[in-house]
Amino acid sequence: MWFFFAKVAPVEEVPVNHTKNRIVIFFRVLILMLSSLFLFSSGVWAKDPAKEIRIADGKGDWGYPNAFQHYPRGPGYLRMAMVFDTLVWKDANGNIPALAKNWRYDPESLRFIFQLQEGVLWHDGKPFTADDVVFTIDYFKKHPYQWVPLGKVAGAERLGLHSVSIQLKEPYAPFMAYVGGTMPILPRHIWEKVDDPKRYQDPNAFIGTGPYRFVDFDSTKGTYLFEANKDYYLGKPVVDRVIYIKAKNPLMALLSHKADLVNIKPDMAAHLKKKGMVILTSPRGWNKKLMINHKKSPLNDKRFRKALAYAINQQEIIDKAHRGFGSPASFGLLSPDHVFYNPDTPQYPHNPEKARKILASLGYQENEKGFMEKNGTPLRLEVLISNITVAGESMADRDGEVLKKQLENVGISVDLVNLEQATADAKVRNWEFDLAVTGHGGLLGDAMTLERMISPRVAGSVNSARYGANRELLELLDAQMTEMNEEKRKAIVYEIQRIYADELPAISLYYPVSMAAYNPEKGIAWYYTKGGIALGIPIAQNKMALIE
């Protein structure tokens, strides 16, 4: 493993680089001792809001912060976004210029034209130009980045030093969200020499144009160190260093000033508010979901899946497993807080008697033990459960236990299998399961999330139903991707939700209450981004909060 050198030897959780050179060690210790006379009584810069901000979560290790090495969930992307900028970004209210200062769409030629910022420098001092944007499109088409689907993009063309055209193969409604607002732009002068980006372990792999430079990462401790890019083109960063740390107890990390921003459980909110912390509550952008192996009998029959839906009591799961913190999810997948949410989406109110009648209509009979069987074969399903990561925190819960009792209440015998999340994900990806409790965000971003979470064309996604049995549904998913008129697209998305809720290839269970808390003494006003960061990440860590 390689490391960069920080300017001042860090302490506490800050990543540390070691050297065998005793002279260097001596001078580092001397500098630290002298600094301590002026800067701290309990920790370096720990109480100086002008110097650093610390962000904590329970996992810590989200991979190296570039497109090819970060862990494929929201916290990994956000660490990368500190270093690499996109053409367009979001603040609290919506899209704002980033590397592109303005843009327009030409429907006749199917082109997006971007006028780029002038005077932008890469972290190594080289100038950013249109060549870098063209190169990035070409590079990601050759080496796919799973967060940026480029199948509808034909290519890019330099129109001038600071002007670029991106050509579409056909109208592509999610372009601004999934390409303009999510794709990290790479420096051509570095990556054009890299043939295997996933194995590229060099300091230059982290040269970006973002507000912070990557300094260090300790995968064992789960700590990251970033230093401010003081020449950042969108404004000077308000703190010199951003430090990510792993904290088993976010509440104590915040109260002890070891962290300045953390995700919290809802029952922590009142106590933290009394201590002067600011509490943020996320819109419903994340859902707990029951994945269904609809490729095997009897789960391949939508009547059986509807029996499951009637057997499940969403509110009981919320009350018993989460002390009432949450709200029942829509069976149409999109969050009620989404601008395209269909309020008339079919619902399945808890009705065990109806669930039993459906099972009886499918040939199941109740045996002497109260469980269903057909032709002497018991109806038994295996349910995979694991600790799911929500906004960077591992969420242990009793969802599986409550769900098991609900299904057994209608005569379905259930075997709960508790696995580590990566193992459970692999089984779901390979269709080696009956039912699995999992979860994901992205329910506030562009409606392309329906394509990503429903279509069989999204190969390998552990969160996607990958359902292709309904031709009309697939045609509508295609149609909403190419409809550039917002009202017409909304009507299509309404119909997708209706059909999806009727087919039930997966069942959304609930939206947990997701909260963050921060220390206002640091002078940073954090917020949840409207529609989620980039393609819809529901985490209160927008880097624009750190820019003057």
The Cα 481–Cα 497 span in angstroms is 15
Same domain for 167 and 298, yes or no, is: no
Which tens digits make up the pLDDT trace of 380-412?
999 999 876 555 455 567 999 999 999 999 999
Q: Which helix (H) or strand (E) holds 55?
A: strand 52-57
Q: Which helix (H) or strand (E) holds 451?
A: helix 448-454
Which residues are CB-contacts of 252 (< 8 A; sequence separation ≥ 6)? 258
The Cα 445–Cα 190 span in angstroms is 32
Compute and round to an integer the Cα radius of gyration of the chain.
Answer: 25
DSSP 63: B
| Among the ranges given (26-40, 148-162, 203-217), the one the predictor scored with the smallest mean pLDDT | 26-40
pLDDT at 5: 34
Same domain for 480 and 395, yes or no, is: yes
Domain range enclosing 299: 287-512
* CATH at 305: 3.10.105.10
**Sheet of strand 278-281, all strands in order from the earlier edge strand to the far edge:** 212-218, 223-228, 241-246, 52-57, 261-264, 515-518, 278-281
Residue 189 has pLDDT above 90, yes or no: yes
Parallel, antiparallel or unpaired: strands 413-418 and 380-385:
parallel
Q: How far is CA 9 from CA 24, 77, 216, in A?
A: 11, 27, 12
pLDDT at 396: 61
The angle at the Cα of 74, spanning 71 to 332, to the nearest 5 degrees, equals: 120
User: Smallest Cα–Cα separation from 530: which of 540, 515, 518?
Assistant: 540
- 328 belongs to a structural domain: yes
Which residues are CB-contacts of 439 (< 8 A; sequence separation ≥ 6)? 286, 287, 288, 289, 388, 390, 395, 463
User: Percent of the chain beyond pLDDT 90?
Assistant: 80
Which tens digits make up the pLDDT trace of 427-438?
999 999 999 999
Which residues are CB-contacts of 92 (< 8 A; sequence separation ≥ 6)? 527, 529, 530, 542, 544
Of the three residues 158, 191, 224, the one that is the final residue of a domain is 191
The Cα 7–Cα 215 span in angstroms is 10
Same domain for 122 and 259, yes or no, is: no
Same domain for 381 and 256, yes or no, is: no
Question: Would the CA dihedral through 459, 465, 468, 474 be positive or negative?
Answer: negative
* CATH at 96: 3.90.76.10
- 277 belongs to a structural domain: yes
The pTM score is 0.80
What are the structure tokens assigned to 55, written together?
């962000």
Average pLDDT, the chain: 89
Parallel, antiparallel or unpaired: strands 372-374 and 388-390:
unpaired
The Cα 305–Cα 501 span in angstroms is 11
Q: Which helix (H) or strand (E) holds 105?
A: strand 100-106
Same domain for 244 and 367, yes or no, is: no
Contact (CB, 8 A) for 63 and 80: no
Contact (CB, 8 A) for 482 and 451: no
- 460 belongs to a structural domain: yes
Same domain for 297 and 387, yes or no, is: yes
Question: Would the CA dihedral through 437, 439, 443, 448 be positive or negative?
Answer: negative
pLDDT at 15: 40
- CB count, 10 Å around CB of 161? 12
Q: DSSP labels for 355-418?
A: HHHHHHHTT-EE-TTS-EEETTEE-EEEEEE--EEETTEEE--SHHHHHHHHHHTTT-EEEEEE
User: Smallest Cα–Cα separation from 191: which of 151, 134, 252, 153?
Assistant: 134
Residue type, 22: R
- 53 belongs to a structural domain: yes
- 200 belongs to a structural domain: no
* CATH at 529: 3.40.190.10
Residue type, 254: L
- 388 belongs to a structural domain: yes
- 11 belongs to a structural domain: no
What are the structure tokens assigned to 389, written together?
């990561």
Question: Would the CA dihedral through 224, 230, 235, 240 be positive or negative?
Answer: positive
Same domain for 217 and 165, yes or no, is: no
Q: How far is CA 403 from CA 261, 381, 409, 501, in A?
A: 33, 12, 10, 20
Same domain for 33 and 74, yes or no, is: yes
Residue 468 has pLDDT above 60, yes or no: yes
Same domain for 466 and 393, yes or no, is: yes
pLDDT at 462: 83
Q: Identify the band that residue 33 occupies on the pLDDT scale cut at 50, 70 and 90.
A: very low
Same domain for 40 and 134, yes or no, is: no
Highest mean pLDDT among 289-293, 388-392, 438-442, 527-531: 289-293
The Cα 130–Cα 128 span in angstroms is 7
Residue type, 334: L
What are the structure tokens assigned to 489, written together?
């697209």
pLDDT at 13: 38
Question: In the chain, how many domains are there?
Answer: 3
Same domain for 43 and 118, yes or no, is: no
Q: Identify the band that residue 72 occupies on the pLDDT scale cut at 50, 70 and 90.
A: confident
- 6 belongs to a structural domain: no
Which tens digits make up the pLDDT trace of 109-130?
999 999 999 999 999 999 999 9
Q: Which H, E and C letters describe 257-315, residue by residue?
A: CCCCEEEECHHHHHHHHHCCCEEEECCCCCEEEEEECCCCCCCCCHHHHHHHHHHCCHH
Q: Which helix (H) or strand (E) holds 121?
A: none
Same domain for 53 and 106, yes or no, is: no
Mean pLDDT to the nearest integer, 181-207: 96
